[in-house]
Structure 1
Amino acid sequence: MTQYLIEDFHFDIPKALDVIYTSRVYDLLMDSSNELYVYSAAYVYELLKKEYLKGSIV
Structure 2
Amino acid sequence: MPQGDKSAYTDKQKRQAEHIEEGYEKRGVPEKEAERRAWATENKISGGGKKSGSGKK
- Structure 1 and Structure 2 fold alike (TM over 0.5): no
The TM-score, its normalising length taken from structure 1, stands at: 0.42
Bigger radius of gyration: 2
| Larger RCO of the pair (alpha carbons < 8 Å, separation 6+) | 2
